[in-house]
Amino acid sequence: MWTDLAPVLLIAAAAAFGLAVVSAVAGFGGGVLLLPVFAALFGLRAAVPMLTLTQLSSNASRVWLNRRELNWRLIGWFALGAVPLAAAGGLLLAHAPLEPLRRLLGVFLIGMVAWRRFGKPPGKPRDTAFTTIGAVSGLGSALVGSTGPLTAPFFLAYGLTRAAYIGTEAASALAMHLTKLAAYGAGDLITGAVLTFGLALTPATIAGAWVGKHIVDRISDRLFVLLVEAGLVIAGLLFLIGV
């Protein structure tokens, strides 16, 4: 059995490593780019909880690597909205029809890029606004895997940069992912295969976060953002046409 699964695991591990590097450098994008890969390999309903397991290790690594710069106040306000909505969305995923969800995901990915490119940059949000941001993020992330590109502008507009931004965003997402896993488990979405692959990919995501941390000051952030956005558009189009 493992001989048959080995090529799939190697592909998934390579993708998880590469996109963990992207997340560590750009602060977002790895999860939404990894979802189409997992969906093609494992199917969409298994891909979302599996992605959450890999994001758990990736975000935990970024929290630890940037632990001295965390803004705990924002993390608390974000979690206040994200946790209950992530739980609701996780339970909903177990019963959502897959084809409409796939189309929704395609529209969502392309819409994220359009919003980032053409939407008006947000002003500096109040601390309490992160409860609403967390609620929207929690529901969306539970259904489509990741909403990092949508929440990133708000953390940046608050004034967080570099390690403070990457660590605080990762810690906020970590609370959300833990809640999603509990909800997926209650909805019988955490199967043995999902758990096995999710745990097997953990070393790749931790290694990717470590590598990204060490190159974050040596490359152009703008180039990474452009590459991430191009990947989002391509992935969105593939979901829309049913690939």
pLDDT (tens digit per residue) in 51-95: 888 778 778 888 988 888 899 999 999 999 999 999 998 888 877
Q: Which residues of 64-100 are buried (b: 16+ CB within 10 A; e: fewer)?
A: ebbeeebbeebbbbbbbbbbebbbbbbbebeeeeeee
Find the mean pLDDT for residues 42-47.
79
Q: Which residue has the tokens 């710069």?
A: 69
pLDDT digits (tens, 9 = 90+) for 106-157: 787 788 778 777 777 667 889 999 999 999 888 888 877 767 667 777 887 8
Range of the domain at 11: 2-240
Tell me if 165 sits within 8 A of 156, measured CB to CB. Answer: yes
Quick one: pLDDT at residue 172?
92
- Say yes or no to pLDDT of 1 above 50: no
- Beta carbons within 10 angstroms of residue 193's beta carbon: 12
Number of domains in the chain: 1
Q: Which residue has the tokens 């590598």?
A: 211
